[in-house]
Structure 1
Amino acid sequence: MQLQPGLPEEVGMSTARVSLVNELAESMVVDHITSAEVIVAARRGVIVTHQAYGHLTPNPVSPVLDELALFPLCSITKVFTATCIMMLVEQGVIGLNRPVMDYIPEFKGKGKEDIRIYHLLTHTSGIRDEDLSTYIDQNHSSISIPPRDENQDEYIHTRLNLGYEVPLWRKPGEVMSYWGYGYELLGEIIRRVSGISYPQFVQKYIFEPLGMKDSFFNVPHAERYRIVKRSPNDPCAEWIETESSINSVSAAGGIYSTAMDLCIFAQMFLNKGIYNGQRVLSPISVIEMTKNHIPGVASEYRDETFPEAYWGYGWGINGTKKDGGDLFSPQAYSHWGAAGVFVAVDPVYDIAIIHFTVERDLQKPFKNMYTDYINNAVLAAIEEL
Structure 2
Amino acid sequence: MNVFRSLKYRNFKLFFYGQSISLIGTWMQKTAVSWLVYRVTGSALLLGLVSFASLIPSLVLSPYAGSVVDRHNRYKILVITQVVSMLQAGALAFLILFKVYNIPAIIGLSLLQGIINAFDITTRQAMMSEMVDNKEDLPNAIALNSTMTNIARIAGPAIAGIILSTFGEDACFFGNFISYVPVLTCLFMMKLNITVIPRAQKSIWLELQDGFKYVSGDRDLSSLIVMLTVSSLFVIPFNTLMPIFAKDIFSGDAKTFSWFESAAGLGSVISAVYLATLKTDKHIVKIMTIASFVFGVSVMLLGYAAKLPIALLFMTMTGIGMMAQTSTINTYIQTHAVPAMRARAISYYVMAYQGMIPVGSLLIGWLANSLGPRGAVCVEGVIGVLSTGLFVLYKRRQNINIPTAGKGRLRWLNA
Normalising by structure 1, we get a TM-score of 0.25
Normalising by structure 2, we get a TM-score of 0.24
**RCO (CA 8 Å, sep 6+): is it higher in 1 or 2?**
2
Please identify which structure carries the higher helix content. Answer: 2
